[in-house]
Amino acid sequence: MNLVPAQVFLTDTAQCVGEVPSPTTEQPGSLVEIEGSVYAILERRHRYSLRSGRYCLDKIALYVRPIETSLTERTLWQGQWVIGDPGCEYNARSVLIRCAPNPNGPCQGCRFYTS
């Protein structure tokens, strides 16, 4: 089985920022690093072509958004990475956004922080 490299596109501009060699673990919500920049995967699309009466995977496209927060602000919570402190009542418990009251963070010193 030949693995098809995935092209990585920014969601807002559709600009190609690079390729990932074997995207078996790159699912929406996970992070991918390309040329020193970290991106959050928002969407994954597959394209198939018909060859000899069978459909074969032809292309994979990953649509991403740059991560503005530092990787040190991530916390492993129930088997997934989240931004900020998942113990806070307002935390979104997401790899994409921290919370509604203070999305840019940090959690330390936030007036809305409650546990």
Q: Where are the domains of the chain?
A: 6-66, 70-115
Q: What does each C-alpha distance from 23 to 4, 13, 47, 79, 86 come to in angstroms?
A: 8, 22, 14, 20, 28
pLDDT at residue number 34: 84
Closest CA to 25 of 9, 49, 41: 41
| Omega within 30 of 0 (cis) for the link into 101 | no
Q: Taking a C-beta distance cutoff of 8 angstroms, is the pair 79, 58 a contact?
A: no
Q: Taking a C-beta distance cutoff of 8 angstroms, is the pair 60, 23 a contact?
A: yes
Mean pLDDT, each 10-residue run in order, the chain (115 residues)? 81 88 72 82 90 90 81 77 84 82 80 82
